[in-house]
Amino acid sequence: MNYSELKKNTNIGWNTWNTTSVMSHALLPYGFAINLCIKDHSHSNVLREALIGRFGNEEEHIFPHVRSWDGKYTSINVKYIETEFNVESAVINNEQLILVTPLKNGLKPATLIVEACLLWGKEGTLGKRDGRIFGDFDDGKHIEIYTSGQKYDMPYTYSLSPSYTVDMTEPIAVSTFPCSADEARKLIDEAKKSVYAEAEKYGINSEAYIAIKSCLAWDTIYECEKDRLCSPVSRMWNKGWGGYVLFDWDTFFAAMIASVDNKELAYLNALAIANEVTEKGFVPNFACNDNLKSRDRSQPPVGSMVAMELYKKYKEPWFICEMYDNMIGWNRWFAENRMTDEGYMCWGSNKYEPVNGRYFEKYDTGNLQGAAFESGLDNSPMYDNVPFDNEREISLLADVGLMGLYIKDCKSLIEMAKISGNEADIPEIEARLNKVEAALMTLWSEKDGMFLNKNLVTNELSRRVSPTNFYSFYSDKVSESQKKSMIDNYFYNPKEFWGDYIMPSISRSDPGYKDQTYWRGRIWAPMNYLVYNAFKDAGLNKDAKALAEKSRELLLKEWNAHGHVHENYSGDDGWGCGVGNSDKFYHWGGLLGYIAIDAENLK
């Protein structure tokens, strides 16, 4: 097996592959899609692009429910202007079945517009003849779209492809085989039961499983530029970036979430972002269409760690072999570009000649903000007023979090080298590991009982503490007394990190905590995951389980109330809503549930 074969094997079947709408069901590899559009007659617009997370007065409000990975069952509730309806789907013997159930109408019933579309530049023929819409393909494939609803003419649908229009006065079946609404209801109920049965296997974590699976599955799309399935952070972000965008650690974490029970999607995401390496050999902060990448900066080096977590579960060497070259190249790049002679590691950002001349290539490169973007913690108080070395193009702050992650990266790479037959690389990896570990040990503050960041101009330790300081636990050199100090004085201390909702992105005692915006006090699932994993590495299973239980509670608060899986959450009350910079359906929020599921294996 290799990545090309994996893509070929998975680019098949009916699913919600079309990033522009969760009410679009497409068939790969043909690119044929059934698009559902809504005309609410109290408004002039037609709802064509239905996305989870929009909540304006004249926008669609979508509440996602339980669904499968493979599209065999999906379910959403949609409120749009004066109309409310459910959309459920099932795949029956490789045929698509959709049931639209109206729940509320305005003075005039809304109209369902069913469009046949051909996506992603795929070749085929669409048509409408004798009242039927269809698609024909060179291999003889013929697809027809049927509906149980009473069709009528509505000239001003503004459809650019063959379509039907149906009044939403009763449940409507839309399918690729003849099917009544009653028959559709029975078939879809059977598919729904099987999805709930899968969730029940997770016991106390069944709701968390449903939440993370729903979020990641809805965020998974077909990305046509590189002919692959992948899971961008959300469809809302894809729209804003012109098609798709993959972020570094976000996409590696999508692989971790998928690994709960979808090996192929886990591999697809890890390989998708690993193969976005730049010409200089690092995984970029972001990569999107038209070869636009952040060529000035990377992001947290979590790829090798994720690769080894997947290997421990699936034991498939081919995957490690596919990942290895890019991962060791990335590790070398960090050493060459972000490590001082003493072994300290600092975030940075390098000036470079723009390739496309778009926004992110013109601003915040080669400066402190670019370095903060590389950390992934864009506005963290840790980086307030930190000096920046314009010659070396790094922030002059020895960063405990980066050093801890780099140590973990080196340890994971050593294991990958053994698995992939690259043992000759191990001495150089060990040399970098030892150098960074030795430097990390100099950042211990006996007075504060914590490993602290260090200003490399003043040589002063920074007392601005975040969950990243716990990444020091990835080093085997941290003593038992140091672990106890950090756990007792910081993790379980309600003045620092403990509380009803944890872990805030800066300690509660920090002046920046009260800001509660983005990385200034909000809770972020990737931080919880990385601390949880560090606790496990340090043998702190009891504390890891405590973090996992809190993480599950945080996830389910928003999920049960609103069907949201947030980008970040309030450190005060645990809500994700209430701020404008917390995407409501951002897949790495699912790490909160992943942690809880994983912790069931801890003793």
Report the range out of 57-66, 316-325, 357-366 with the highest average pLDDT. 316-325
How large is the average pLDDT for residues 579-589?
95
For residue 260 the two structure tokens come to: 């709960």
Report the alpha-carbon distance of residue 301 to residue 323 in Å, rounded: 13
Pick from 90, 115, 72, 96: nearest CA to 178 = 96
The yes-or-no verdict on residue 501 having pLDDT over 90 is yes
For residue 191 the two structure tokens come to: 């598919």
On the question of a cis peptide bond just before residue 416, with omega within 30 degrees of 0, the verdict is no
Strands of 438-570, DSSP E = 444-445, 450-451, 454-455
How large is the average pLDDT for residues 488-496?
98
Pick from 360, 354, 304: nearest CA to 329 = 304
The yes-or-no verdict on residue 544 having pLDDT over 80 is yes
Q: Which residue has the higher pLDDT, 363 or 2?
A: 2
The three-class DSSP label of residue 278 is coil
How many residues comprise the chain? 603
> How much is the pTM?
0.97
Convert the pLDDT of each residue in 387-444 to its tens digit: 999 999 999 999 999 999 999 999 999 999 999 999 999 999 999 999 999 999 999 9
How large is the average pLDDT for residues 266-273?
98
The yes-or-no verdict on residue 471 having pLDDT over 90 is yes
What average pLDDT is seen over the chain? 96
How large is the average pLDDT for residues 107-111?
93
Rounded (10°) angle between helices 263-274 and 303-314: 150
pLDDT score, position 360: 67
How large is the average pLDDT for residues 335-363?
87
How large is the average pLDDT for residues 258-279?
98
Q: Which residue has the higher pLDDT, 242 or 482?
A: 482
pLDDT score, position 73: 98
How large is the average pLDDT for residues 331-340?
98
The yes-or-no verdict on residue 26 having pLDDT over 70 is yes
pLDDT score, position 359: 65
pLDDT score, position 356: 72
Burial 300-315 (b: 16+ CB within 10 A, else e): bbbbbbbbbbbbeeee
pLDDT score, position 277: 98
Question: pLDDT-derived band of residue 581, with 50, 70 and 90 as boundaries?
Answer: very high
The yes-or-no verdict on residue 153 having pLDDT over 90 is no
Q: Which domains does the chain have, with CATH numbers?
A: 3-200 (2.70.98), 203-599 (1.50.10.10)
